C-alpha cells in the first residue's frame, strides 16, 4: 500500500507509456498482418490501406473493445493471492506491457508476423508464475485460450475456403465471369455490412449507454433489423460503384478474369474496413487490459477490485497507439505478408479477409481473446487450399509457425526480468 501511495502517479504515467508502446507494437505488426492481404493482392496501395485501417481500427477499438478487455484482465490471473500486495499486480502488469511491446518491436524489425495475444498472455503468465505463485495463474483459462488459438485458424480457414469456393462456383468458373461477378458481389457486400453493424450494435452501444429495443426479445434479435439495413446500404453503395466498372473487351481468358478481379478489388475496400474494425475491437485489449488493472489499483489507493468500469480514455489511448504504430512502421510487414503464404488476387484476398474478419468479430462478441495473426494465416491457408496444396509456400508457413512458438517464452522471459527490475527500483 505504501508503494502505491508514494509512487502511484509515477507508476500510472509509466503504465500509460508502456501501454502506448504495446499498442504501437500491435499497429506495427498485427494490423500490418491484417491489411497485408489487401496490399498483397494489389487491391489497395500501402497508403490507402493505412488510411482505411486508421479509421476503422480506432472505431473498433473505441466502440467495441470493452468485452475482450474484461476477459484478458479478469480471466488470466487470480488477484485474491495478492490482495495484500497490490504493488505486485501493478509491477506485473507494467512488466507485461513493456515485455510484449519489446518483443513486438523486435519481431516487426525482422518482419515476423507474430501474435500480440501470445505476447501479452505469455508475459502475464511469466510474471505471475515466477513473481507471485504458480497458483496465481488460472491455468484452466489459459488452456481455453490455447484451444482458441487452434480453433480460430481452423474456423477462419473453413469460412475462407467456403467463401472462395463459392466465388469459384458462382463467378470464376462460369461462362461469363464478369456478368456473374456484378450479380453476386453485392450479396457479398451485404454480408460485410451486416457483420460490421452486428458487432457495433451488440458491443459498441454497450460502451455508449445506448440501447436498441424493437421488442424482439434478445439483444441479438433486436440488432438484426438495423444490421440488415446497414448491409443493404453497403450493398447498394457497392452496386452503384460496380455499375461504373466497364468490361474491357477481349477474347483471352486472362482478360476476362482481370475484369472480374477489378470488381473484387472494389469489394476488398469493404472487407479491409471490416477486418480493421474487427481487429481493433479484439486486439486493443492486449494493450488496455493490463493498463485498466493498473489504473484501477492506483485510483482506489491499492484496492484490487473484482469489477471496475473501463475508463473511456484508456480505450482512446489504445486506439491512438495502434494507429500510430501502423502509420509509422506498419508498411514493413504489410508490404510482404500478403505475398508470403500464397499468391493472392483480389478475389482470394476478399475471401481471406472476410473469413478472418468474421471469425475475429464473433470471438470479440463472445469475449474470447483469439490471435488475429493465427486467424488471418488460417484464412489465407484456407484460400490457398481451395486451389490445391501446391499453391501454398510450405517453407514460409513453417517459418511463421516457428515464430509463433518462440513468442510465448519470449514474452514470459522479458516480463520476468522487467518485473524484478521494477520491484527493485520501486520496492
Cα separation, 87 vs 236, in Å, equals 55
Q: Are 261 and 171 in contact (CB under 8 A)?
A: no
Q: Are 11 and 291 in contact (CB under 8 A)?
A: no
Give the cell for residue 9. Answer: 502517479
Q: Are 64 and 199 in contact (CB under 8 A)?
A: yes
Residue 310: DSSP 8-state? -
Cα separation, 123 vs 336, in Å, equals 27
Cα separation, 310 vs 97, in Å, equals 17
Cα separation, 334 vs 37, in Å, equals 8
Cβ-Cβ contacts under 8 Å for 156 (sequence gap 6 or more): 355, 356, 358, 359, 375, 376, 378, 379, 382
What sections of 284-345 are H helices per DSSP?
285-299, 312-329, 331-340
Domain that holds residue 196: 2-426
Residue 43: DSSP 8-state? S
User: CA dist 426 to 8, 336, 337, 420, Å?
Assistant: 10, 42, 41, 10
Cα separation, 341 vs 42, in Å, equals 15
pLDDT value, residue 207: 55
Q: Give 137's strand partners.
A: 77
Cα separation, 415 vs 299, in Å, equals 24
Of the candidates 427, 409, 363, the one whose C-alpha atom is nearest the C-alpha of residue 125 is 409
Cα separation, 296 vs 388, in Å, equals 51
pLDDT value, residue 305: 64
Give the pTM: 0.83
Over 246-287, what HEC string results?
Answer: CCCCCCCHHHHHHHHHHHHHHHHHHHHHHHHHHHHHHHCHHH
Neighbours of 127 (CB within 10 A): 32
The DSSP element (H or E) to which 167 belongs, if any, is helix 139-167
Give the cell for residue 3. Answer: 508503494
Cα separation, 334 vs 328, in Å, equals 12
> Rg of the chain's alpha carbons, rounded to an integer?
22
Cβ-Cβ contacts under 8 Å for 301 (sequence gap 6 or more): 1, 4, 5, 8
pLDDT value, residue 89: 86
Torsion of CA 89, 94, 98, 100, to 10 degrees: 40
pLDDT value, residue 80: 73
Q: Are 4 and 86 in contact (CB under 8 A)?
A: yes
What sections of 76-138 are H helices per DSSP?
86-110, 116-127
Question: Per-residue pLDDT for the chain (427 aa), expressed as one digit of tens each?
Answer: 677 777 878 999 999 999 999 999 999 998 887 788 888 888 888 888 888 888 888 888 887 776 666 656 557 777 777 777 788 889 999 999 999 999 999 988 887 888 888 899 899 999 989 888 888 888 887 887 777 777 888 889 999 999 999 999 998 888 888 888 888 888 988 988 887 777 677 765 565 556 777 777 777 788 889 889 999 998 998 888 778 777 766 555 555 677 788 778 887 888 788 778 877 877 788 888 889 888 888 887 767 665 556 778 888 898 899 989 988 888 777 766 777 788 888 888 888 888 887 887 777 667 666 777 888 888 988 998 888 888 888 888 888 888 888 888 999 999 999 999 999 998 7
pLDDT value, residue 94: 94
Domains contained in the chain, number? 1
Give the cell for residue 384. Answer: 490457398
Cβ-Cβ contacts under 8 Å for 89 (sequence gap 6 or more): 77, 79, 82, 293, 297, 304
Residue tagged 500480440 (cell numbers): 116
Amino acid at each position: 500500500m505504501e508503494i502505491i501511495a508514494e509512487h502511484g502517479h509515477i507508476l500510472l504515467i509509466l503504465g500509460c507509456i508502456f501501454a502506448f508502446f504495446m499498442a504501437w507494437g500491435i499497429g506495427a505488426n498485427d494490423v500490418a498482418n491484417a491489411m497485408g492481404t489487401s496490399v498483397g493482392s494489389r487491391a489497395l496501395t500501402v497508403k490507402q490501406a493505412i488510411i482505411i485501417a486508421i479509421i476503422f481500427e480506432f472505431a473498433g477499438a473505441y466502440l467495441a473493445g470493452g468485452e475482450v478487455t474484461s476477459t484478458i484482465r479478469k480471466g488470466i490471473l487470480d488477484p485474491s493471492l495478492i490482495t495484500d500486495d497490490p504493488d505486485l499486480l501493478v509491477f506485473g502488469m507494467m512488466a507485461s506491457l513493456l515485455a510484449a511491446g519489446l518483443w513486438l518491436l523486435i519481431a516487426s524489425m525482422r518482419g515476423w508476423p507474430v501474435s500480440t495475444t501470445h505476447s501479452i498472455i505469455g508475459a502475464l503468465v511469466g510474471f505471475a508464475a515466477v513473481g507471485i505463485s504458480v497458483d496465481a495463474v488460472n491455468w484452466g483459462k489459459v488452456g481455453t485460450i490455447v484451444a482458441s488459438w487452434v480453433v480460430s485458424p481452423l474456423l477462419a480457414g473453413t469460412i475462407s475456403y467456403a467463401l472462395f469456393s463459392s466465388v469459384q462456383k458462382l463467378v470464376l468458373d462460369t461462362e461469363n465471369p464478369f456478368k456473374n461477378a456484378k450479380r453476386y458481389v453485392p450479396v457479398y457486400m451485404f454480408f460485410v455490412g451486416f457483420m460490421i453493424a452486428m458487432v457495433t450494435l451488440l458491443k459498441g452501444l454497450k460502451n455508449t449507454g445506448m440501447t436498441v429495443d424493437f421488442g424482439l426479445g434478445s439483444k441479438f434479435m433486436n440488432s438484426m433489423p438495423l444490421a440488415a439495413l446497414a448491409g443493404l446500404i453497403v450493398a447498394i453503395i457497392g452496386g452503384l460503384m460496380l455499375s461504373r466498372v466497364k468490361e474491357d473487351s477481349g477474347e483471352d481468358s486472362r482478360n476476362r478474369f482481370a475484369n472480374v478481379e477489378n470488381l473484387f478489388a472494389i469489394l476488398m475496400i469493404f472487407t479491409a474496413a471490416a477486418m480493421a474494425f474487427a481487429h481493433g475491437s479484439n486486439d486493443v485489449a492486449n494493450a488496455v487490459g493490463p493498463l485498466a488493472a493498473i489504473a484501477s489499483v492506483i485510483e482506489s489507493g491499492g484496492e484490487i477490485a473484482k469489477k471496475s468500469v473501463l475508463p473511456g480514455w484508456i480505450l482512446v489511448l489504445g486506439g491512438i497507439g495502434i494507429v500510430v504504430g501502423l502509420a509509422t512502421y506498419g508498411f514493413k510487414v504489410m508490404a510482404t505478408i500478403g505475398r508470403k503464404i500464397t499468391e493472392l488476387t483480389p478475389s482470394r484476398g476478399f475471401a481471406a479477409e472476410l473469413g478472418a474478419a468474421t471469425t475475429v468479430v464473433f470471438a470479440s462478441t463472445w469475449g474470447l481473446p483469439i490471435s488475429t495473426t493465427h486467424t488471418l494465416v488460417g484464412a489465407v491457408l484456407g484460400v490457398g487450399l481451395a486451389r490445391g496444396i501446391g499453391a501454398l509456400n510450405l517453407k514460409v508457413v513453417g517459418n511463421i509457425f516457428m515464430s509463433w512458438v518462440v513468442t510465448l517464452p519470449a514474452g514470459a522471459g522479458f516480463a520476468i526480468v522487467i518485473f524484478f527490475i521494477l520491484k527493485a527500483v520501486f520496492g
